[in-house]
Chain A
């Protein structure tokens, strides 16, 4: 998909794009290996590769890698790819540089739904988690959008951000109340609510895989039309894009991606904001490139954030979501100054 040229392709152009894909995937592979090597005990990269490709259950390090560190690295890849792709699509379709699952309330909606299901209704089966998260994300997105269009001036980037912040604050308050009423059942969710890759069961990941795969495939399928939509709804219609249908498909993709990320890692803020902007700086305007590159760089970014989360205050581990927020918030401020 990345090699498909959007316009008159020259050999150098195709080469640059192919080279870019190789570099991006290589960086991701390195971050993946480094992520596995880092931990309470640093395992040499050589041993990491041996454990991955010539597994020996007798070697303790290999067991640690297979059972603990490999799942966590895979979580990181999936969550980072899902959130960045969702952010890229949202920014493209809404032409709003601040659009991302966190700022527009989808992360809070999804996590609120999961907290209610797990904490209040005791519905903890991993099979249901992605569906519950999806319903929550869709509900919150709808409320945010309704508040924004009823504001004077309509759904501008700023009114969307403000109503996203209001909905997020409101849902956070509801979660706190539920937490106070029944502290025991929420204990297990407290760390998850800050966004973490640690200690999540592999089973949850397996149940989210279909959602994630559907979201990613749908994103790649509509990418070409998103490029046209970035020139305005009317221009896109003139070029033969069914704008209403496209927006519906993108909403489905974004909700599925957000739901799978939240099911695995809780609300991980700012990943979907930072990565697509960096990708656009590197790769330009074509969403057939932006979408897959956002997925790859998003995965890399989250692995690096998780490495930082484990190294910065070692041996104490910080929540990964706190690291992404620490990196993302200054970027958010810069974006507002530069782009609005």
Chain B
């Protein structure tokens, strides 16, 4: 899958998979200045896509619209498997598309296993209660997110990184082909960010699921994502495979960041290094 980046010029649908989730000309927000204006985007299937952009660029808003948390207020449509997501019964969407929002709340006293079990919500009803199938999905999700050892601990007593892995296990237990994650790595230290992104990349590559992650850390995004979407002022500035999009030019245009983009000799992944202006007296030495 890695070699496909070089083959085509910014292919939206690598590997020939048709996009299952797309935005077509959507406008979000009210009044004269919409947050997102006439945006179209196809989410590459079976890949990890990272959406990056400066604060207030509308990246979380876009993700919420994809997850049907926000209505498409100003026109356009978001399609999941060819059907408008906002008009599809929400339970049906929840079997295909999972969302991990920013700052989810774990009710007091909830254990890890109980939290992960909540991911089975769309498969249960008043008449259809807990099944063997649900138990299997929860066990697998906890194993994949490496929280099996924590199963009987209370979520409230875990560290930030452990807690985030539990929430990821919950959305994995939902067994959807598509997962949307809103800033899952924010406020976590670098080691934990790397662990989480490794987990998410493996979910995409090993299980063939489609992941969309909104995030801040540019180098972490470049190291783990297959595709990048760069947003600024409510529209998409650049999108495509990381190697094509993660350029000094784009970083300057989107973030106003003066940085050199190098290649990590080990992974071949691009890395940005901000240019530091040295004080003349130090530079002279």
Interface residues of A (CB under 8 A from B): 4-9, 95, 221, 224, 227-228, 230-235, 237-242, 280, 284-286
Contact = CB atoms under 8 A, between A and B. Distances in A.
Given A8-B138, A232-B101, A237 B90 contact: yes
Contacts of B108: 280, 285
B22 interface: no
B94 A238 contact: yes
Given A230-B107, A232-B105, A238-B94, 5 more contacts: A231-B105, A234-B67, A237-B67, A239-B119, A240-B121
Contacts of B98: 238
A5 B105 CA distance: 21
B121 A228 contact: yes
B262 interface: no
B17 to A, nearest CB: 23
Nearest to A238: B99
A52 to B, nearest CB: 34
Nearest to B116: A7
B118 interface: yes
A235 B135 contact: no
Contacts of B130: 4-9
Contacts of A6: 114, 117, 130
A235 B121 CA distance: 11
Contact of A234 (B93, B104, B118, B124): B104
Given A234-B101, A237-B68, A238-B94, A7 B138 contact: yes
Contacts of A228: 118, 121
B68 A8 contact: no
B135 A238 contact: no
B3 interface: no
10 contacts: A6-B114, A8-B130, A234-B69, A237-B68, A238-B67, A238-B97, A239-B121, A240-B90, A240-B93, A286-B114
Nearest to B104: A235
The majority secondary structure among interface residues of chain A is loop
B158 interface: no
A241 B171 CA distance: 14
A235 B109 contact: no
Contacts of B64: 234
A194 B124 CA distance: 44
Contacts, number: 98
Nearest to A286: B114
Nearest to A223: B126
B120 to A, nearest CB: 8
B151 to A, nearest CB: 9
B101 to A, nearest CB: 4
Nearest to B99: A238
A239 B101 contact: no
B100 A231 contact: no
A95 B68 CA distance: 22
A224 B117 CA distance: 13
B143 interface: no
Given A239-B119, A240-B121, A231 B106 contact: yes
Interface in B81-119: 90-95, 97-110, 113-114, 116-119
A176 B67 CA distance: 51
A232 B182 CA distance: 14
B50 to A, nearest CB: 19
A285 B101 contact: no
Contacts of A230: 105, 107
B174 interface: yes
A6 B107 CA distance: 14
A95 to B, nearest CB: 7
B61 to A, nearest CB: 12
A221 B104 CA distance: 24
B105 A235 contact: yes
B129 interface: yes
A237 B117 contact: no
Contact of B118 (A221, A231, A233): A231
A239 B104 contact: no
B67 A224 contact: no
